[in-house]
A and B are shown apart, each in its own frame.
Chain A
Amino acid sequence: MNALASTQPRPAWKRLRLNISAKQALFGYAILLPTLAIIAIFRFLPMLQAFYISLHEYDLIRPPKFIGFDNFIDLLQDPLFLNSARVSIMYVVFSCVPVWVLSLALAMLFNRRIVAKNLFRSTAFMPVVMPAVVNAVVWTFMYHQDGVVNTILGWFALDPIPWLRSSKWALWAIIIIGIWRATPYYMVIFLAGLQAIPHEYYEAAQIDGASPWRQFRHITLPLLKPTTLLVMVMSVIVAMKVFAVPLIMTGGGPADATRVLPLFIYQTAFEFFKMGRAAAMSVFLFAAVMVFTLFQIRLFSRGEE
């Protein structure tokens, strides 16, 4: 038996001689495989499917009809889509920029030795843990004619503002909520970045007579660059996806003033049942986020070069 076994050729996989690093790499990939498979099936596949649907006219029930790039061409001529894109861009710009500044400022504040620091940090973080739906409902009451916001304005002899019932103010009302909700989240990220900066750098700078502003300009900001990039990329992507708050608070109105792109995509897909058109909008949104992200990365890496 033994002699017979020894004469049989060994299977090909047994003849493979791998060195230790190759084996380690193989083991690493094996561990990664389930996660990659999940990401591929539940993330990339739907994205490919969305692109496929975008080339069709599809109402969910009748079979999809191939129409090539008609959805894309039509969207570029659709005033409603262009308006929605404009609203989204305004939301992103006017919510993200203040968030970057405020979250960094708060992080720097909470990085200092202040009384009841942890209590303040936890309190500041509360808007993040509150569900978006709860936020929307609470803020709807706060924005009412006799709500908290207008009451505060009244203390300064200011007229009540029809926050959610004016095409002039509604988007700003949504932006304020966005800033209020996002700032503490990115504050925590900045805080982690700040705590990773060795304190010795600041001590050395102080010895050299550097002012607090110079320390911030030449130590904090440069060393926070990777964190800042992360915050900028994430905040823009999250702002581009804003959906629940405008849906609940204004439904996109008045007069389309708050119809951000994700809301318009949802309505096109699940109220108008135009899945192809909605998928084409999603592709546009994805492309916009991708381009913007690459632009930000390029901007940051140029400085390093």
Chain B
Amino acid sequence: MKCLKLLPAVAIIVTMILAFGPAPEPAKAAEPTKPTFAFPAENITIEVWWHEYGPFTAYVKELIEAYKKVRPNVTINPTIASSTDMNQKLTVALAAGTGPDIMDADASYYVAYYAKGVLEPVNLDVFGVKSYQELAARYVSNGLASGTFDGKIYTLPYQGNSMSLFINNKLFAAAGLNPRKDAPKTWKDLMVLCPKLKKVEGNRTVRKAFEFPYHSPRWQLQDLQPMTEQFGGKILSDDGKTAHLNSPETVKALTLWRDVTKACGDPKNTKNTASNPNQDFLDGFSVMWITGPWATPQVQASPIKNDFTVVGLPQVNPAKPHTMVYGWAWAVNKNKPEVQKLVAWDFVKFMLAKPDEWLAKAGFVQPAKGVGETEVAKKFPFFNVHMKDVQTATWYIRSENVNEIAQAVGRAVDSVVYDRADPKAVLDAAQASVDRILKK
């Protein structure tokens, strides 16, 4: 009885405690070209959200100032959020009707936004094209694939990152290797090099020859996806409705991951984090590391400086290369007045007009044609390697459940690497978990 008398008080205590892309021709289209549409004359304010990355933020702010001079009647209000929070903030804001006119998100998330009906297709008039095909033709093959839904283009990427192999020249040379001549082309080549590059003193790993990512499931999927494709498989069907996580090809890929790790790395020792994913490589703790072109300024600012080499992603069969591309893209909010949507697309066009500046100022590679011919690209370290990897790439998987699939993959990788679990068994479990999600 005493217990019952105390129930309201307990409820209050518990509650209180619980509460707590053409590529427009580089360097030509800085200003909106002769409009094939009527640009509004009244004063208009639009909101732009993007994810925080120092050089990127500085460049977009610069673009806003430049746009003001071209379109004095438009005011652009910027909001910047961390990359890890952006998807969450966008979804909540869109749900509350307070979303921005122009949004920035990881390309793999847009399929969910499309399904939820919040994306506006590209305004063809603003881009001066007659069809989506004409717009897509301005980009490399599949360059706009991540933002194309049911034949219409909804998002335009400002970065499409290949994942290539970065090599620390100094450490490579210290092992008697020549980074240009001896750089691995296949995973087997890589495993042969590892004993020469890895350094262990007693029970402490002093240097890793190569390491896969362990700081984020999304990064783990970034590497497992191309490896699976190199074996001829797929992580997810093209329609995004069927996962193939326990297919023989994915099992082979995960087994290869385990074998490479045994020979080359020490996943139990890493300083890589979501905010500093390249840390081990920058510190000289890993000799080789797979990352994107955007990491170049970071590497140049580290003790490595310009003493590095970038080669293509290691392959199972170099004659049939398979790589992966992921990126971030601009999109326009469908639930905004027509005039704002028009201005929003106009500003997106303005922002994307100079791919060479994007490369020079933010280190981002637009998957647009003609970028490689610009002076900036010619000076950008290993630009052709990055572009070659983009040309043989498929985009990071598209699914409304991409985060859950990445989590399932990350769990499987962790279990194999940290708990020595059988790749087939953990991938069966991952498949079962993803099947549960996709069936709904």
Q: Which residues of A contact B (CB under 8 A)?
A: 39, 42-44, 46-47, 59-62, 78-80, 140, 144-146, 159-160, 162, 165-168, 233-234, 237-238, 241, 251, 253-256, 267, 270-273, 286, 289-290, 293-294, 297-298, 301, 304-305
Contact (Cβ within 8 A) B403 A60 = no
Tell yes or no: B414 within 8 A of A by CB.
Answer: yes
Contact (Cβ within 8 A) A47 B411 = no
CA separation between A253 and B13, bound complex, in Å? 32
For residue A136, give the distance in angstroms from its CB to the closest CB of chain B.
Answer: 11
Contact (Cβ within 8 A) A43 B411 = no
Contact (Cβ within 8 A) A294 B7 = yes
Which listed residue (A61, A78, A294) contacts B3, Cβ 8 A?
Answer: A294
Which listed residue (A166, A241, A305) contacts B268, Cβ 8 A?
Answer: A166
Contact (Cβ within 8 A) B414 A61 = no
Nearest B residue (CB) for A163: B268
CA separation between A43 and B15, bound complex, in Å? 7
- Interface segment out of the listed B90-98, B130-138, B157-165, B184-192: B90-98
Known: A79-B433, A255-B414, A298-B3. A44 touches B15 (CB 8 A): yes
Chain B residues near A42 (CB, 8 Å)? 19
For residue A98, give the distance in angstroms from its CB to the closest CB of chain B.
Answer: 20
Contact (Cβ within 8 A) A43 B269 = no
Nearest B residue (CB) for A234: B17
Tell yes or no: B6 within 8 A of A by CB.
Answer: yes
Chain B residues near A62 (CB, 8 Å)? 116-117
5 A-B contact pairs sorted by A residue (CB < 8 Å)? A46-B19, A59-B116, A145-B205, A166-B268, A237-B18
Contact (Cβ within 8 A) A271 B88 = yes
Contact (Cβ within 8 A) A241 B433 = no
Nearest B residue (CB) for A268: B404
Nearest A residue (CB) for B419: A167
Question: Chain B, 399-423, contact with A by CB distance < 8 Å: what is the 0/1 string?
Answer: 0010110010011001101110000
Contact (Cβ within 8 A) A233 B15 = no
Chain B residues near A286 (CB, 8 Å)? 14, 18
Contact (Cβ within 8 A) B10 A297 = yes
Contact (Cβ within 8 A) B268 A255 = no
Chain A residues near B298 (CB, 8 Å)? none
For residue B435, give the distance in angstroms from its CB to the closest CB of chain A.
Answer: 12
Contact (Cβ within 8 A) B14 A167 = no
- Which positions 5-33 of chain B face chain A at CB distance < 8 Å? 6-7, 10-20
For residue A225, give the distance in angstroms from its CB to the closest CB of chain B.
Answer: 13
Chain B residues near A271 (CB, 8 Å)? 87-88, 403
For residue A129, give the distance in angstroms from its CB to the closest CB of chain B.
Answer: 16
Chain B residues near A46 (CB, 8 Å)? 19
Tell yes or no: B112 within 8 A of A by CB.
Answer: yes
Question: 5 extra interchain contacts, Cβ-Cβ under 8 A, other than A61-B116, A286-B14, A294-B10?
Answer: A145-B269, A160-B203, A241-B20, A254-B214, A293-B14
For residue A133, give the distance in angstroms from its CB to the closest CB of chain B.
Answer: 12
For residue A106, give the distance in angstroms from its CB to the closest CB of chain B.
Answer: 22
Contact (Cβ within 8 A) B268 A162 = yes
Nearest A residue (CB) for B432: A79
Nearest A residue (CB) for B437: A272
Chain B residues near A301 (CB, 8 Å)? 2-3, 6
CA separation between A219 and B273, bound complex, in Å? 51
Contact (Cβ within 8 A) A289 B88 = no
Chain A residues near B87 (CB, 8 Å)? 271
